[in-house]
Amino acid sequence: MILNRLLLILLNVFEAYVWFKIVNLFLKRRYSVNVASFAAAIVAVIMITKSVLCWDNDNAVFNSMLTFINFGIILFLTVYLFKDSLRLKILIVLLYMVGLAISDILVMGIFLLTKETVVNDFSKPTIVITLISIISRYIVLTLIRKFHDWQNNIVGVENKLQDMIFLMIITDFSLVFLTYIFYLNISRISPEMILLLIIFNIIIVTIVFIFNIYRLLRFSRQLTENRLKTQYMQMQLQQNENMNILSNNLRSLRHDMNNHIGVIYGLLDTKQYNKLKSYLNGIYKNLQEANDIIIVNNEILSIILNNKKHLANEKMIQLVTWIEVKDFILTEIEICSLIGNILDNAIEATDKVPVDAIDIDREIKFVCVEKEEGWYIDCKNPFVEAPLITEEGLMTTKKNKESHGIGSRTMQDIIKKYNGTLEYSTDDINFIVKIFISKESNRSYQKEKNM
């Protein structure tokens, strides 16, 4: 009896820990982690008190009242300690409560399958039932954590997450309530019927979960495509603006050429060599802008490279390119996103290198070549602080991780689509990105593009 009650206390403590982990996964803390930990301890004490009061009390109304009070305190602590919307806070608390209920249903199903107990025994759980309950709660917590990690890797699902949780909670709550109704009439229902109900519950929950995953994936795909199209259009507009400025400068230079020659002769005749040098530098600057234009066979690639070269020049960064591409398997939007993100990251990292640095050049080397076996894309840029590279890829250290992580995930999605490889590496002072896309593994895409 003593061991059983100690295990029940341990179960209560673990349930408080589950609450602590779930709310910290989905919600933003208003206070420090120590305050949240103290709140979890309060929840544990409340749950233990509830269990102690219910040990020798078979009054269903009293037990239900304690459960309701327990739920209210948990909801109050969640609302008070976290910043997010009230709707999301309530949904997360409901997710926690439904998770515990599903855990109990799983335990009931396991014991009905083994036929070592009857349903009435669950009102007074044994040591084995309590241990299985702890394990089942750990499984539910693990599944919720896996779901959270998975949705974090999908672009732009934050706004849809609440709707998905709400639909799952409504479904789960309905099934739990149905199970409870059966439990109240257990004297008229066979254990086999309860087992069938549990299996039915699991099947329905699985179907709803898969349906929601499908909705999230479709929404994320549409959102990614819209973002790529927007980025593509913005880059075209910027390039058109830059080309218009350059065209106007060249037109003005050609129109004023006679005047320029006259001024040059005048400065030579009067031997004003310093003014002549300054005047020629101004003309040379306009000519240099024309010489800096990168012209390649792929129009969108030309637009991106010229746009990024203009941006690099403004930041006093030298962008050196080597381009040998006749045809690209990627779509224009994919080229815009992939190359644009690579060069944006390179320019941002290089801009942190001091202009007066002695041992580091503010120079980016970008290579994009097409060979018989496929396409090679390499980019090398200096850094001040080495990026964090893990087995999963490049980890951002920026504060707004969600926003900055979208570019990297989009790159990975594009490379994955074409069965390519994406490698990150560093040497003493440079960060290096290497991409390879095979022609052999993309014959179908090439035929589709050529149609």
| Average pLDDT for 215-230 | 69
Residue 364 lies in a domain: yes
Residue 269 lies in a domain: no
**Which DSSP symbol is given to 123?**
G
Q: Could you tell me if 299 and 202 lie in one domain? A: no
Does the pLDDT of residue 382 top 90, yes or no?
yes
In the prediction, which pLDDT does 118 show? 47
Q: Could you tell me if 186 and 321 lie in one domain? A: no
Between residues 377 and 92, which one has the greater pLDDT? Answer: 377
24-28, 236-240, 402-406: which has the minimum mean pLDDT? 402-406
Residue 236 lies in a domain: no
Largest CA distance in the chain: 117
Final residue before a domain boundary, out of 184, 199, 216: 216
In the prediction, which pLDDT does 67 show? 76
Residue 137 lies in a domain: yes
What tokens were used for 63? Answer: 């037990």
Does the pLDDT of residue 80 top 60, yes or no?
yes
| Average pLDDT for 219-230 | 69
Does the pLDDT of residue 403 top 50, yes or no?
no
Between residues 92 and 160, which one has the greater pLDDT? Answer: 92
110-119, 192-201, 344-353, 436-445: which has the minimum mean pLDDT? 110-119
Residues in Cβ contact with 121 at an 8 Å cutoff, skipping those fewer than 6 apart: 111, 129
In the prediction, which pLDDT does 348 show? 92
Identify the band that residue 437 occupies on the pLDDT scale cut at 50, 70 and 90. very high
Residues in Cβ contact with 159 at an 8 Å cutoff, skipping those fewer than 6 apart: none
Look-up of token digits 């999963």: 392
**Which DSSP symbol is given to 247?**
H
- Alpha-carbon span 431 to 383, nearest angstrom: 7
Query: Domain range holding 77?
Result: 2-216
Q: Could you tell me if 304 and 200 lie in one domain? A: no
In the prediction, which pLDDT does 192 show? 61
Residue 287 lies in a domain: no
Q: Could you tell me if 327 and 197 lie in one domain? A: no
Query: What's the chain's average pLDDT?
Result: 74
Does the pLDDT of residue 401 top 60, yes or no?
no
| Most confident among 109-118, 258-267, 279-288, 344-353 (mean pLDDT) | 344-353
54-58, 115-119, 123-127, 298-302: which has the minimum mean pLDDT? 115-119
Full-prediction pTM beyond 0.75?
no
For the four alpha carbons of 379, 380, 383 and 389, in that order, the dihedral sign comes to positive
| Number of domains present in the structure of the chain | 2
Residue 245 lies in a domain: no
Residue 353 lies in a domain: yes
Q: What is the CATH number of the domain that holds 395?
A: 3.30.565.10
Q: Could you tell me if 204 and 303 lie in one domain? A: no
Q: Could you tell me if 200 and 298 lie in one domain? A: no
Radius of gyration of the chain (CA): 32
Identify the band that residue 66 occupies on the pLDDT scale cut at 50, 70 and 90. confident
In the prediction, which pLDDT does 96 show? 80
What whole-number percentage of the chain has pLDDT above 70? Answer: 59
Final residue before a domain boundary, out of 216, 233, 257: 216
Does the pLDDT of residue 142 top 90, yes or no?
no
Phi, psi of 190, rounded to the nearest 5 degrees: -80, 155
Does the pLDDT of residue 57 top 50, yes or no?
yes
Final residue before a domain boundary, out of 189, 216, 243: 216
Between residues 102 and 145, which one has the greater pLDDT? Answer: 145
Q: Could you tell me if 180 and 306 lie in one domain? A: no
Between residues 92 and 442, which one has the greater pLDDT? Answer: 92
Nearest Cα to Cα of residue 125 among 116, 115, 137, 133: 133
Identify the band that residue 410 occupies on the pLDDT scale cut at 50, 70 and 90. confident
Q: Could you tell me if 39 and 137 lie in one domain? A: yes
What tokens were used for 160? Answer: 């849809």
Q: Could you tell me if 198 and 299 lie in one domain? A: no
Between residues 118 and 61, which one has the greater pLDDT? Answer: 61
Residues in Cβ contact with 246 at an 8 Å cutoff, skipping those fewer than 6 apart: 289, 290, 293
Helices 257-269 and 191-255 cross at an angle (nearest 10°) of 60
Residue 9 lies in a domain: yes
